[in-house]
Amino acid sequence: MIRLGAQRIDRVVALGAHCDDIAIGAGGTLHALCAARPGIRVDALVLSGGGTDREDEERAALAAFCPGADLDVTVHKMPDGRLPAHWDEAKNALEELRAGRLDELAAKSFPFLVDPLREDDAELRAVTRGMLHDVGAEAAIRQLECFMTRPDALAGLGAIDMKALVLVGEADRIAPLARAKR
C-alpha cells in the first residue's frame, strides 16, 4: 500500500475493469479525499458494463462516494471477462484519460510560457495545447519538467569566449529582464 503524504492532491484517477470495482475497492478512500478536498478532480474509467443498468449504478455510487468533486465517469462497453482480447481498446481508453491530463498540464503551464498580455488569447492557447498533443503526453510532460527544473547556467556564461545575443522580453517570467541584464 502506498501511503499518502502531506502533499496536496488535486486529481485522482480511478480505473476499474468492471462496474463496482472502484466503489468496492476505493469507495471509502475516495469519500475521505473528496470530503477533505472539495472540488478535487476525480476521473473514473471503467472498462466494461457501458450501456447497461450496471453503468447507471456505477455512476450513482461514484457520485455518492465523491461528494463535491469534479467527477467524470467514463464506462466502456468492453466484454466482461475478455479484456485481454480487447487490449488495444483498453489501452486507447487509458490514452484518452492521459490526454485529459495533458490538457490540464497545458492549461496550468500556459501562463508561464506567454506574455501576460496574451494570457487570454484563445488562439495562442489552442496552438500551445495542440503542440503538446502533437508530441504526446509523456514527451510533453518530460519537456516541461526539464524546462522548468533545469539548473541555472547564469554563473557559467562568463566563461564562454564568444559573442552572443541574448533575447528576452520585458514580461518574460522564466528569464526576467532584470536577470538578463546581469
The C-alpha cell that represents 172 in the structure block: 518574460
Long-range contacts of 22-25 (CB under 8 A, 24+ apart): 22/46, 22/58, 22/62, 23/58, 23/61, 23/62, 23/65
Confidence of residue 49 (pLDDT cuts 50, 70, 90): confident
For the segment 132-145, the average pLDDT, to the nearest whole number, is 69
Give the percent of the chain with pLDDT over 90: 14
Give the percent of the chain with pLDDT over 70: 58
What's the pLDDT score for residue 1? 43
Encode pLDDT of 53-112 as tens digits: 989 999 999 999 999 999 989 888 877 666 566 667 666 666 666 666 667 767 766 776
Helix or strand run (H / E) with residue 15: strand 11-16
Encode pLDDT of 10-20 as tens digits: 888 888 888 88
Confidence of residue 2 (pLDDT cuts 50, 70, 90): very low
What's the pLDDT score for residue 175? 61
Q: How many CB atoms within 10 Å of residue 14?
A: 21
